[in-house]
Chain A
Amino acid sequence: MLVYKADTLPLPRAEFLNGQSAYTGLVLHVDLTTPRCWVESPPEAFYRRFVGGRNFILHYLLTQTPPRIDPLGPQNLLIFAAGVLSGTVLPGTGRHAIGAKSPLTGALASSEAGGWWGSELKRAGYDAVVIHGRAAEPVYLLIRDREVELHSAKHLWGKTTADTQDALREAVGDEKLRVACIGPAGENLVRYASVMHDVSRAAGRSGIGAVMGSKNLKAVAVRGSLPVGLENKSLMQTVQKWINVHYKTDMAWAIQYGTAGSALGNVLTGATAIRNYTRGLLSGADQLEPEQLFRLLVRDRDTCNKCPVRCKLVVGYEDEETPIDTRYGGLEYESIASLGPLCDISDPVVIAKANELCNAYGLDSISTGGTIAFAMEALEQGALPLEWREIAPRFGDGESLIRAIHQIAHREGPGDWMAEGSQRLADRLGGRAHEWLATGRGQELPMHDPRLKQTMAMGYALSATGADHMHNYNDSFATAEEGDICSRLKEVGLPVPMPLWGISELKIEAFYYETAFKNFYDCAVICHFYPYLYQHMVEALSAASGWDVTLDEINRIGLRAITLGRLYLLREGFTAQDDRLSARAFYKLSEGPIANRALTPEEMRYWLGVYYRRMGWDEQGIPSRQAVEQLELLDYMKEN
C-alpha cells in the first residue's frame, strides 16, 4: 500500500548526534488517513528535558491534539515511545510506553510494556512513533531499519493476538519480528482493550487497544539492525556491575516465582480485594500457594530484552476441557488477583484460563476482572436486566467468568455493557450501583487494596491515568529499612522506615519523591522491578546520553511527567473534585486482615491538599505559574 524506503524517506539528521548516543534523535509520524509519513528530529534540549516514554506522550497530546476530542475519533494520537535508556545494555531497559487520550477515563492513557518491542524500535532507528488519523480499512505498519511500510490487515482482522503475530512473522519471513497488536477486543472498541507485545506483554491499562482499533491499526511490527549507542561505556559498566551482583538477592523473589509468588501473601495481608471488596477472607486461598501454582501450571520461564531475571512465567495446561495455550505466557499477580479473588474465585486453572483469554483477545486483566466483579455484585443485588440473569457472571462461578470474557471481547449480550467498564455500567444501571464501584477517575482499581495501602490510595485518586499502582507509592514496601524504596528515600534525606498505616506529612514527602522517581522510570522507560537508586539512574542516563546528569535532574524529569499530566487533566475539564475514589475504597470490612481499616473521603481530601501544596498547586489542584516555570514547562501552560 505505502512504502517509504529509507533513502526516500524525508530524514532530517539530528545534528547534535555523534552516532554514540543511546537515542536515535528521530521520531516517526504516520498519518493513516492520507496515508503518509514523515520524520521529526527533536532538538537535544527536548530529549534532556523529557527523556522519553510518558513525557513524550504528554508532549504530543498537549501540543498536537485539540482539547476534549473523542478518544475514539481520528483526532486522537496513538504514541509509541521508547526512552533514552531503552535498548541499551542495562538490564531492565527493554521497555517502552504507549499513550493516547483514554477512551475509558477521558484522561491520559499511558501504559508500559516489557518484552523486546521497545528495544527493537530503537534498533529500527526511531525513538518514538506517533500515529495520526484513521485508516479507511484495517492496516498494519512494518518498520525495519528506518524503512516504513503500511499494508492491508484485512486478513488479520478478527484474529487473536498470537495468531496475528504468527501470521505476520510468517508473511515477513522473520521469526524475530517484534509485534505490537490488538486482538478482537481492540477491534470491537472495548474501552479497556490492551495492546499486546510478543503476545504476553500487555500495555494494558486505560484502553489504548481501543484507540488502536479505532484507527483500524491491527499491528505495528518492528525489526532493526542499527546499533544503540553509549556515550560512556565504562560509566554504564559501573551500573551494570552493581545490578549484576544485587539482582540475585534483591530480586530473588522475581527469580523464584515472578509476581505470581505474591498472590497468597497479598490475600493474607489484605492487599488483595475479595468479592468486589466486600469480604476479608478467601475460601480456598491455599490453592494460590506459589509452589502449588508452579507444579500445576508453569511450564517454562521467559524474559525481556537484556534481563537476566526471567520473572515471566509460561503457563500451560494440557486438559481437554480447559486447555491453556503456552503462547500466551503466564500469570502475573495483578491478573491472578483481579480474575480470581476479586471475583471470589481461587481455582488456579480457571484464573489461568481467564488470563489466557485476556491476552488472546487483548483485554486489560485488571479492568476485566474489576468490571466482571462489579457485574457479579450487580447480579447479586438484582440490578441487572432480567433477561441476563442466566448468562451474567456470578461470584465464585469460574464458568461464568470465562463466558463473560468471551462476551466482553465480542460485545455479546451483557458483554456489550461490560465492555464499557464498570463506571459506565454503574451509570447505566443507576439506583445504588455506584455504591459497589471500585474506581479512580473511572478506571478499575489495581489489586493493592486502598484500605491497606492508604498513601497509595491517594495516588490512585491523583494519577492522570486513573488509578494506577506502578507510578505510585507502596505503603507496604517502605516499612523496614530493607528494600529499594527506603534506600532511595535515604538518598533524598528522608528518615526511614515509614509506618504502614495512615498518611502523614512525612509519608506525603515520601510519596512526592517516590512518585517522581517512578514517573522517571516510565519516561526512561525502565522495569519497575529493578531496584535501582537515584545514583544508578544518574550514572546510567549520563552514560547513555553524554549529559552531566544530577540527582535533582532525575527528580525533575519525573515531576515534569506529573505536572504535564496535571495540565492535561485540567485541559480536558477535570477538576480537584475528580481527584477521588469511588465508594468501595472506603468500605470497612468486618472480617479479615484489614477489618475496620480505611481512610475516610474527608481524610483523603485533606491529604490531597497537603500534596497540592507540596507540588506548588493551589487548593483547586492547579499548578502555579511559578511551579510550572521551575520545571521549564511554561510553553505547555500556554496551550491551555
Chain B
Amino acid sequence: MQMGEGQAFVIIDKRLHSLLTAKPAGCAEAPCRVPVPAGISICEALQLLGVRLPNALTPVVNGITQDLSYILHSGDEVRLVVQISGG
C-alpha cells in the first residue's frame, strides 16, 4: 500500500453505518467523516478502516461514481453507497 501526501475522507452515513458488520475506528456513531491517507485505493482505505458488510459498495468521490480501485487524492471526499437489489 503506497501512501501519498495529505488526506482523503470517507463519509459513513447512518444507513451504511447500520448495515456494517464491523464499525471502523473513530466512527462509533453516524454520520461520520473519517480521514484516510491519500495515494491508496478506496478498496485499501476500506480495509484500513475495517469497513465490512455483506453487500457491495459503490463509491462516489466528490460527486462522481468511481470504481473501488480508484486512487484517492488529497482532499477527496468519498461517499459509500450500499448496493442492494431493486425490484
Sort chain A's interface into a size bin. Answer: 35 or more
Knowing A253-B82, A268-B81, the reply to whether A478 touches B56 (Cβ < 8 A) is yes
- Kindly state the separation between the CA atoms of A429 and B57 in the bound complex, as whole angstroms: 42
B-contacting 9-mer, from A96-104, A257-265, A345-353, A380-388: A257-265
Contact of A501 among B56, B67, B81 (CB under 8 A): B67
Contact of B65 among A249, A261, A593 (CB under 8 A): A593
Q: Return A204 CB to nearest CB of chain B, in Å.
A: 10
B71 at the interface (CB under 8 A from A): no
A residues within 8 A CB of B19? 252-253, 256
A332 at the interface (CB under 8 A from B): yes
Q: Return B32 CB to nearest CB of chain A, in Å.
A: 17
Q: Chain B 56-87 against A: per-residue CB contact (8 Å), 1 yes, 0 no? A: 11101001111111000000000101111111
- Kindly state the separation between the CA atoms of A480 and B68 in the bound complex, as whole angstroms: 8
A633 at the interface (CB under 8 A from B): no
Sort chain B's interface into a size bin. Answer: 20 to 34
B residues within 8 A CB of A469? 86
Q: Are B58 and A476 in contact (CB under 8 A)?
A: yes
Q: Are A249 and B21 in contact (CB under 8 A)?
A: yes
- Kindly state the separation between the CA atoms of A337 and B83 in the bound complex, as whole angstroms: 15
Q: Are A482 and B56 in contact (CB under 8 A)?
A: yes
Q: Return A192 CB to nearest CB of chain B, in Å.
A: 17
A-B contacts, 19 listed (Cβ < 8 Å): A249-B54, A252-B19, A262-B82, A262-B85, A265-B81, A266-B86, A268-B60, A290-B15, A333-B86, A334-B86, A334-B87, A470-B87, A479-B57, A480-B57, A482-B52, A485-B56, A497-B56, A499-B69, A592-B63
B residues within 8 A CB of A452? 65
- Kindly state the separation between the CA atoms of A250 and B56 in the bound complex, as whole angstroms: 11
Q: Which of B13-34 contact A (CB under 8 A)?
A: 14-15, 18-19, 21
Q: Are B86 and A500 in contact (CB under 8 A)?
A: no
Contact of B79 among A259, A268, A474 (CB under 8 A): A268
Q: Are B54 and A482 in contact (CB under 8 A)?
A: yes
A residues within 8 A CB of B66? 500
From A446, A478, A480, residue with most partner B Cβ within 10 Å: A480
Q: Return A225 CB to nearest CB of chain B, in Å.
A: 30
Q: Are A259 and B87 in contact (CB under 8 A)?
A: yes
Q: Chain B 24-60 against A: per-residue CB contact (8 Å), 1 yes, 0 no? A: 0000000000000000000100000000111111101
- Kindly state the separation between the CA atoms of A499 and B65 in the bound complex, as whole angstroms: 13
A254 at the interface (CB under 8 A from B): yes
- Kindly state the separation between the CA atoms of A268 and B81 in the bound complex, as whole angstroms: 8
Q: Are A259 and B85 in contact (CB under 8 A)?
A: yes
- Kindly state the separation between the CA atoms of A592 and B67 in the bound complex, as whole angstroms: 16
A residues within 8 A CB of B55? 250, 253, 477, 482-483
- Kindly state the separation between the CA atoms of A629 and B78 in the bound complex, as whole angstroms: 51
9 closest residue pairs by CB, A with B: A265-B81, A333-B86, A253-B84, A593-B65, A500-B67, A480-B56, A250-B54, A476-B83, A269-B58
Q: Return B87 CB to nearest CB of chain A, in Å.
A: 5
Knowing A259-B87, A499-B69, A594-B65, the reply to whether A483 touches B81 (Cβ < 8 A) is no
- Kindly state the separation between the CA atoms of A72 and B86 in the bound complex, as whole angstroms: 30
Q: Are A497 and B64 in contact (CB under 8 A)?
A: no
A434 at the interface (CB under 8 A from B): no
Q: Which residue of B lies closest to A502 (CB)?
A: B67
Q: Return A342 CB to nearest CB of chain B, in Å.
A: 13
Q: Chain A 442-481 against B: per-residue CB contact (8 Å), 1 yes, 0 no? A: 0000111000100000000000000001100010111110
Knowing A500-B67, A501-B67, the reply to whether A269 touches B87 (Cβ < 8 A) is no
A residues within 8 A CB of B87? 259, 332-334, 470, 528-529
A632 at the interface (CB under 8 A from B): no
Q: Are B54 and A529 in contact (CB under 8 A)?
A: no
- Kindly state the separation between the CA atoms of A266 and B79 in the bound complex, as whole angstroms: 12
Q: Are A262 and B84 in contact (CB under 8 A)?
A: yes
- Kindly state the separation between the CA atoms of A375 and B30 in the bound complex, as whole angstroms: 42
Q: Return A76 CB to nearest CB of chain B, in Å.
A: 27
Q: Are B79 and A482 in contact (CB under 8 A)?
A: no
A595 at the interface (CB under 8 A from B): yes
